């Protein structure tokens, strides 16, 4: 069955509470308890002196109540004695100086000294707890990201990484185009990480910046391999993961999770829902994204348990039904384990106002009751973990696109993630399962492949997409595709969308980075849509015109085209629209490909289906704070605010 978890910090509480807390968690329906990710200082209070007695006791208490443990390596928060005794373990900021020591996450994961100490504590844990029945899984570190550290070890490793990639300075200079601004590199030692806040990102070489982000992705994945190998050396059968999140400095998640047994994510959906009907606030995109890391079901290691309040003003309280609805939303998108953060709100430290399930008064409350209701609903569906999402549509994501577009903005109202989310939102709003997968993943089994803003161009992807369309599939390409080569330099001598021009049957005659301005497009059927951010003015080269601009100097020019290609077709979307544009376009594609859909769902109702040998379960989630009604197979379905209803394949509601 789907497993329920809870983050717990026994080191924060008197031992007298442990037994009572474990009993209350077990009674609630909790299966696994997550421990240890910030407790290095308790495990090794002095250099080389280890104390695991308290952790042994906490694990035993949990096991006595029929629960198991997700055990975390504590390397995100090293003890103060390590930082003060070995300053080379501390991250350096953009100014080249060690960052101030605050609460957590100060370590440089490439520091040889830090690696030595991290290996020692991880090995001590692995030796001690390997093979124990009470250990369900291991979590590596905490919320890893592409650290932009400028310490000496990082500088040397960046140069070493570049030498291994390019071999010679001549090759590096050609790739980076360093003739601009007399930027020729004549010695490896001249290369510095492009992290200065004074200039980043506007004045650095985009090719250098892309390589720096790729280097960051490598270092993150290398640290995961480093800790995973230690654990697996002592317990080869251990389940090992880490908790992904979406920071400003995103890693390459496909690299990060490649060596791990399951993908996992920290899921904090919004509680203060916007009134703007165009706002893409749903965390559903992130859930589909995480499922694509390994193209299989995943875990939530931190699920919203109460109002936020860490490092910012305190957030509003979750509305009734919100905790249960959001937890079920995660399950609906493929989560087989949902672990809430945290059992009890902390009484000290930076997170004391970041609320857990229980407040500081330690009494049963509305949130606890709601999570209990969630547990009971899942107990009634014991075979749900044997199901998964089977999707006819895929959205392709590329870390290089994320890296390059973050560092070189296209317009004031243009974002890579916005276009990804718009396509995912349209599929979900039609009741069509959609996978978000790597641009390098196989395309077999899909009927439609959506490729928003493939900015850093992989020509082999264009070839694969042409084969996919020729065999009967539908491809959608959007604006700012084919712009850059693999080194993040503009492609010369070819009209946009360069490598995708043949597939799309059109070229970009001109473009307009309209930013926050708004114009309109109109389809041949007379449907009118608002667009913003970017406008490609298209010239068909065999493609039909699907929509034209109605304003500005390019009024009447094509904005969206549709091209027959072999047994399939390709659309090119030259502008960034609102939600209705994408839902209309996807509905047309679904009709053409005979993909079943629900075209009458109101905005804010999200529908996904999990299927397995035990049957199919369709999840209808009202991700709004107003009641929603819609027709389904001859009946009117009513959803309360934040309510999830589940329907079996034979039409029964469960």
Average pLDDT per consecutive 10 residues, the chain (654 residues; last block may be shorter) = 98 97 98 98 98 98 98 97 96 89 89 98 98 97 94 96 98 97 96 77 86 97 98 98 95 98 97 95 98 98 93 90 98 98 95 94 98 97 97 98 94 95 98 98 98 97 98 98 98 98 98 97 96 98 98 98 98 98 98 97 98 96 98 97 97 95
C-beta separation of 372 from 25 below 8 A = no
Residue 302 designated active-site: yes
Residue (of 626, 645, 291) closest to 437 by Cα position: 291
What pLDDT sits at residue 201? 61
Query: 159: which 2 tokens?
Result: 């140069």
Residue (of 167, 202, 172, 201) closest to 185 by Cα position: 172
Query: 562: which 2 tokens?
Result: 């549709």
For residue 526, whether the previous peptide bond is cis, meaning omega lies within 30 degrees of 0, is no
**Distance between CA 561 and CA 547 in Å, rounded?**
7
349: left (phi over 0), alpha (psi -120 to 50) or beta: left
| Residue ranges matching CATH 3.20.20.80 in the chain | 3-147+219-386
Provide long-range contacts, Cβ within 8 A and 24+ apart, for 436-439: 436/285, 436/288, 436/289, 436/291, 436/292, 436/394, 436/395, 436/397, 437/292, 437/295, 437/394, 437/395, 437/396, 437/397, 438/254, 438/292, 438/396, 438/397, 438/398, 439/396, 439/397, 439/398
Residue 189 designated active-site: no
C-beta separation of 464 from 440 below 8 A = no
**Distance between CA 72 and CA 64 in Å, rounded?**
20
Residue (of 455, 452, 441, 464) closest to 487 by Cα position: 455
Class of domain 393-593: alpha beta
**Distance between CA 543 and CA 564 in Å, rounded?**
7
**Distance between CA 491 and CA 499 in Å, rounded?**
10
What pLDDT sits at residue 310? 80
Does domain 3-147+219-386 sit in CATH 3.40.630.10?
no
Q: For residue 547, list its beta bridge partners.
A: 523, 560
What pLDDT sits at residue 311? 72
**For tokens 């300053």, what's the residue?**
87
Q: For residue 335, list its beta bridge partners.
A: 298
CA-CA-CA-CA dihedral for 372, 378, 380, 386, to nearest 10: -160
**Distance between CA 109 and CA 97 in Å, rounded?**
16
Identified catalytic residue from 37, 44, 143, 370: 143
Largest Cα span, the chain: 76
Identified catalytic residue from 37, 227, 302, 402: 302
Q: How far does CA 509 lie from the centroid of its chain?
A: 35
What pLDDT sits at residue 199? 56
DSSP 602: P
**How far from 581 is each of 522, 531, 546, CA to CA, in Å?**
10, 9, 12
| Residue ranges matching CATH 3.40.50.880 in the chain | 393-593
Q: What 3-state DSSP class applies to 198?
A: coil
What pLDDT sits at residue 30? 98
């Amino acid at each position: 069955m789907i497993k329920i978890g809870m983050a717990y910090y026994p080191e924060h509480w008197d031992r007298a509470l442990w037994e009572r807390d474990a009993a209350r968690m077990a009674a609630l329906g909790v299966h696994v308890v997550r421990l240890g990710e910030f407790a290095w200082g308790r495990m090794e209070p002095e250099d080389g002196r280890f104390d695991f007695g308290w952790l042994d006791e906490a694990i035993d208490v949990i096991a006595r109540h029929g629960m198991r443990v997700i055990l975390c390596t504590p390397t995100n928060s090293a003890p103060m004695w390590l930082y003060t005794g070995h300053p080379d373990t501390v991250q350096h900021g953009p100014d080249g100086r060690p960052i101030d020591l605050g609460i957590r996450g100060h370590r440089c994961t490439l520091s040889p000294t830090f690696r030595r100490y991290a290996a020692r504590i991880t090995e001590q844990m692995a030796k001690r707890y390997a093979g124990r029945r009470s250990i369900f899984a291991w979590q590596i570190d905490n919320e890893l990201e592409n650290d932009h550290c400028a310490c000496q070890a990082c500088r040397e490793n960046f140069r070493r990484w570049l030498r291994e990639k390019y071999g010679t300075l001549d090759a590096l200079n050609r790739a980076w185009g360093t003739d601009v601004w007399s930027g020729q590199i004549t010695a490896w030692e001249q290369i510095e990480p492009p992290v200065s806040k004074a200039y980043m990102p506007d004045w650095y070489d985009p090719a250098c910046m892309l390589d720096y982000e790729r280097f960051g992705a490598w270092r993150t994945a290398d640290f995961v391999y480093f800790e995973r190998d230690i654990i697996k050396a002592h317990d080869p059968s251990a389940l090992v993961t880490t908790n992904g999140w979406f920071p400003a400095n995103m890693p390459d998640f496909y690299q990060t999770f490649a060596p791990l047994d399951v993908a996992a994510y920290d899921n904090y959906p919004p509680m203060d829902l916007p009134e703007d009907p165009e706002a893409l606030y749903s965390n559903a995109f992130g859930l589909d994204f995480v499922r694509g890391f390994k193209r299989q079901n995943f875990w939530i290691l931190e699920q919203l348990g109460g109002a936020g309040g860490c490092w910012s003003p305190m957030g509003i309280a979750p509305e009734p039904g919100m905790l249960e609805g959001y937890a079920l939303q995660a399950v609906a998108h493929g989560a087989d384990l949902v672990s809430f953060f945290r059992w009890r709100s902390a009484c000290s430290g930076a997170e004391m106002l970041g609320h857990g399930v229980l407040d500081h008064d330690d009494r049963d409350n509305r949130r606890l009751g709601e999570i209990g209701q969630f547990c009971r609903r899942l107990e009634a569906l014991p075979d749900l973990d044997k199901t998964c999402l089977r999707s006819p549509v895929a959205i392709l994501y590329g870390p290089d696109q994320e890296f390059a577009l973050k560092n070189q903005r296209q317009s004031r109202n243009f974002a890579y993630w916005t276009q990804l989310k718009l396509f995912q939102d349209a599929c979900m709003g039609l009741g069509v399962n959609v996978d978000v997968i790597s641009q390098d993943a196989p395309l077999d089994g899909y009927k439609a492949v959506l490729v928003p803003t493939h900015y850093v161009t992989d020509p082999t992807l264009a070839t694969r997409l042409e084969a996919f369309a020729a065999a009967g599939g539908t491809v959608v390409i959007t604006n700012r595709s084919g712009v850059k080569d693999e080194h993040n330099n503009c492609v010369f001598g070819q009209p946009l969308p360069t490598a995708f021009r043949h597939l799309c049957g059109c070229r970009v005659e001109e473009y307009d980075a309209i930013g926050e301005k708004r114009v309109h497009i109109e389809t041949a059927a007379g449907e009118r849509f608002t667009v913003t951010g970017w406008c490609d003015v298209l010239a068909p080269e065999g493609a039909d015109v699907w929509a034209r601009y109605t304003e500005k100097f390019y009024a009447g020019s094509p904005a969206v085209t549709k091209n027959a290609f072999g047994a399939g077709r390709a659309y090119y979307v030259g502008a960034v629209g609102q939600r209705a544009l994408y839902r209309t376009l996807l509905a047309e594609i679904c009709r053409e490909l005979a993909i079943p859909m629900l075209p009458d769902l109101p905005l804010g109702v999200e529908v996904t289906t999990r299927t397995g040998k035990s049957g199919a379960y369709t999840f209808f989630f009202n991700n709004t704070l107003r009641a929603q009604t819609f027709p389904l197979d001859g009946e009117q379905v009513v959803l309360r605010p934040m309510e999830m209803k589940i329907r079996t394949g034979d039409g029964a509601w469960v």
